[in-house]
Amino acid sequence: MVKGINLLKDMALANLKERYPSFPHHAIPIPKYADRSANGLTKCVIDFINFKGYQAERVNSMGRQKDNRTTSKDIFGNTRVIGSVQWIKSTSTNGTADISATIKGRSIKIEVKCKATKDYKQSENQKKYQMKVEQAGGIYILVRNFQSFYDWYNLIIEKL
């Protein structure tokens, strides 16, 4: 098991004990973390930053689905679905990072690229977004696993 993820589990357990002080400590379930999927890695990074006392949130840039379907029954009792589902484009900036954080007053954008996903490399829009963030004085990091993020945090952020 990775050192960073073990520390994250300890932080999560301490947070639960603090939030629920009257709950018996032996009965608190041990939190589970894994960085094998993009969602898992995103959760690890966000929780770690928040447990450290800073602010981090997931950025949804997918847009949303609008369901124009209606369901009705015909005279024979058969159920019919009429209409379609429409995808509405997001209004977020093209190439925006997966996580937006503020640590020690600095704007930090974190792009999650997990090996388990098919889009392991940055798109051109993501590279342009990174350039804009860095030109504006923000910090942009590409995270592929939690241990590399943890090492980066200890090397860079602790020195800010």
Strand spans (E) along 1-153: 55-58, 64-67, 70-73, 79-82, 85-88, 99-103, 106-112, 139-143
In which domain, by residue range, is 144 found? 3-159
Examine the pLDDT at 160 and tell me if it is beyond 80: no
* Average predicted confidence (pLDDT) for the chain: 89
Summarize pLDDT for 102-158 with one digit per residue, the tens. Answer: 999 999 999 999 877 667 789 899 999 999 999 999 999 999 999 999 999 999 887
Q: What is the CATH number of the domain that holds 113?
A: 3.40.1350
In which residue are the tokens 């981090």 written? 56
Q: Taking residues 91-100, what's their average pLDDT?
A: 85
> Which residues have CB under 8 Å from 69's CB, separation 6+?
81, 82, 83, 84, 85
Q: Taking residues 20-32, what's their average pLDDT?
A: 89
pLDDT at 105: 93
In order of 18, 104, 146, the CA distances from 142 in angstroms are 32, 19, 11
Examine the pLDDT at 18 and tell me if it is beyond 90: yes
pTM above 0.85, yes or no: no
* CB hemisphere CA count around 17 (13 angstroms): 11
Q: Taking residues 10-29, what's their average pLDDT?
A: 91
pLDDT band at residue 3 using 50, 70 and 90 as cut-offs? confident
Angle subtended at Cα 84 by Cα 82 and Cα 90, rounded to the nearest 5 degrees: 155
Cβ atoms of 146 and 41 within 8 Å: the answer is yes
What's the structural domain count of the chain? 1
pLDDT at 1: 46
Strand partners, 139: 108
